[in-house]
Structure 1
């Protein structure tokens, strides 16, 4: 079996699209649940449910249901989830100590989160360009979605059969206003110009950022930090608890001429032995319950010390809709949300534009 390395996410998605379109895909690909439906809808992925049902090595019930359900397409399990994660708060313990702040509690609120971010933002010379920021985040709708859910709102009108975005409700609007105010009003998030000058993840690595929103994927990079101590905490809680699913699955190309060998790899990679090997990297939360609960993941000698947070929040994880056009819809929302987060337009105008521009990508009732 030949491995092909693609250096970045954008290049990887472009290569997948080009290879499937040309009829020359790799036998096995790893795809995020938000993106596999576009390939499944074209019949280019081999449904893996029948393979799994015959396996003596892995069983459906071995996996977290939150990750398995995200890879269903038209009632068929299409890919096998290798991992799952939720969004969490990574925080610099040294900066908390210097500010006299208690470390985040499991049940902290939006108000406490905001106050913490404000206390960690320092502009010593009052020039409007803080030397230290309280919070760093990717300017994407994926980062704000769990807060919309926590406030009783939703991205779409019907999660099972969406026909439009549903961001104009008081619940969704309230969450969007609160989140964008963190930058526009409270200035605890770097501005666009400051983000371009020094990306928020670089600020965190350099010890000039108090908190950063990320999934489990940040762990291998953060383990390289030697200048300060850090840990993770769950997202703050609004009216209810909610997290957002991050999950990648192994998929098999329908055009593969080596399906027996391809399944053997996918089966092993998602076995206890296979996932234990990958868990050592720190990058993923295993989709197998037994591995996630084992020392391979909950290693007491490896950071973050509070890795159990990733498991504790699983019951509250929700997924975005599985749609073959979701990539297009999300891209439109990202463009408008980024403008709102940096004060170009109001959050209400941004979501109105996102709703109008994405309408063509929804099936009509």
Structure 2
């Protein structure tokens, strides 16, 4: 009986100690280890989660990172539901998209990271301006750790056969248009198109925001006119494939590049790993390729491009905020970027060491121009942070389709965008 009482007394003292010390002790488990729960999606098919966790835990043996897979399809909805319910077990939050980020911030579910960023001396200039674009009233609630951006892929064999010099890392839109026209040749099954635009609205509309003077969320879209005119003229002249045909046939952009049908293609950096893999398996006619920076407007620095980001932040309900931010700092910092790059994924930080890792992967082109194409000057978000972004995108997609299929004129389409989106914005 004395032994039982002694044990109960010890347990009571231990329990009391935990409650007395509040959140600090609540963060500790047996043996003094801190467990952090990281909300994310698709553990089985994502290559960089485990390496990041392994490296961090090796450097911080008193910390254990536990993954919580909420699935990819409804990730942001599931995450918001759990956090809104006061779930304090989630410490680290992966942020999949800008509308979802906006919803989490509006509901005060994410911690303002600015005080810790300042305290820890985090260099936000490493993120190419994207952190400025996701700040809300001067406060940052997530830091990017992944960033895909738009570049131009080109088929070296087609350029060599035509005796035309490769595209460069400093092309204006006028130069890009001229080169696309120069590289167009043949007819029927043997036709080579000088360029290719996938059916996404971003492939055309977002040319217009690269000068930093315009945005697609303010309800005024007159600045899009010259870019629609350029692409429609190319389509009319047979320089690019017909939008309506691509749409009705559900043609994937990869197919036209694989079968040597296009000389240049505007596409995201996510296609790099896929292209390398398909060539290695002998599943494509294209074997010699390269990259150059996105075309730009006059007076805009080469390497100015468009992109999407995946960010990571700290739940406001977490009782382990300091420890959680330390992990966030690691994942989003230079060391995390190198780990991510080694898996073939493009990290948010693209310094020389990261570029070297990506460029050294088997199958990546060895020329310096392609390596240099991975260095970006500034990245504008495909969809900026805005509380009405989802509604705005519906209109932009619809009118883009009408313009590209010639069901409405460029001027008529822009007028329709202006009217409908200003109504959404309450202007």
- Name the TM tier (shorter chain): 0.7 to 0.9
The aligned residue for residue 332 of structure 2 is: 270
SS at match of 2:195: strand
Q: Does 1:31 align with 2:85?
A: no
Which structure has more relative contact order (CA 8 Å, sep 6+)? It is: 1
| C-alpha spacing 1:77/1:97, structure 2 compared with 1 (3 Å) | same
Stretches of structure 1 lacking an aligned partner (at least 5 in a row): 157-161
Map of 2:416 onto structure 1: 353
1:144 aligns with 2:204: yes
Stretches of structure 2 lacking an aligned partner (at least 5 in a row): 1-36, 47-70, 280-285
Deviations 1:202-256 (A, max 9, x none): 2213333322212322211121142411111122333332533433211333344
Match for 1:296 among 351, 357, 380? 357
Partner of 1:41: 106
Change (3 A) 1:180 1:252: farther
Aligned: 1:333 with 2:396 = yes
Structure 2 CA distance for aligned equivalents of residues 36 and 215 of structure 1: 22
2:147/2:347 contact within 8 Å kept: yes
Residue 143 of structure 2 corresponds to 80
d(CA) in 2 for partners of 1:180 and 1:282? 35
Whether the aligned pair in 1 keeps the contact of 2:131 and 2:143 (CA below 8 Å) is yes
Q: Distance in 1 between matches of 2:255 and 2:133?
A: 32
> Contact 1:99 / 1:119 at 8 angstroms: preserved in 2?
no
Asked if 1:167 is matched to 2:230, the reply is: no
CA-based RMSD of the aligned residues comes to: 3.3
Query: Aligned partners of 1:268 and 1:300: how far apart in 2?
Result: 23
Matches within 5 A, 1:2-41: 4-5=41-42, 12=72, 14-21=74-81, 23=84, 27-33=92-98, 36-41=101-106
**TM-score computed with the length of structure 2 as normaliser:** 0.69
Deviation at 1:76, TM superposition (A): 0.5
The answer (yes or no) to whether the contact 1:139–1:337 under 8 Å persists in 2 is no
Candidates 232, 238, 242, aligned match of 1:180: 232
- Contact 1:33 / 1:70 at 8 angstroms: preserved in 2? no
Contact 1:139-1:334 within 8 A present in 2 as well: no
TM-score (norm 1): 0.80
Residue 231 of structure 1 pairs with residue 290 of structure 2: yes
Structure 2 Cα separation of the partners of residues 308 and 282 of structure 1: 17
Task: Classify 1:52/1:298 alpha carbon distance in 2 versus 1 (closer, same or farther; 3 Å).
Answer: farther
Q: d(CA) in 1 for partners of 2:93 and 2:212?
A: 38
Kindly report which structure 2 residues correspond to 1:116-265, keeping only aligned pairs within 5 A, or say none: 116-122=179-185, 124-125=187-188, 131-149=191-209, 154-155=214-215, 164-168=218-222, 171-195=223-247, 196-226=249-279, 227-241=286-300, 242-256=304-318, 259-260=321-322, 262-265=324-327
Seen in structure 2, the aligned counterparts of structure 1 residues 65 and 92 have a Cα distance that, compared at 3 Å, is: closer
Q: What CA distance in whole angstroms lies between the structure 1 residues aligned with 2:106 and 2:426?
A: 14
Q: Alpha-carbon deviation of 1:259? A: 4.2
Deviation at 1:330, TM superposition (A): 2.5
1:91 aligns with 2:91: no
Aligned to 2:349: 287
Task: Indicate conservation of the 8 Å contact 1:39/1:324, yes or no.
Answer: no
Residues 153 and 266, structure 2, Cα contact 8 Å, conserved in 1: yes
Give the C-alpha shift of residue 93 in structure 1. 1.0
- Contact 2:147–2:309 (CA under 8 A) maintained in structure 1: yes
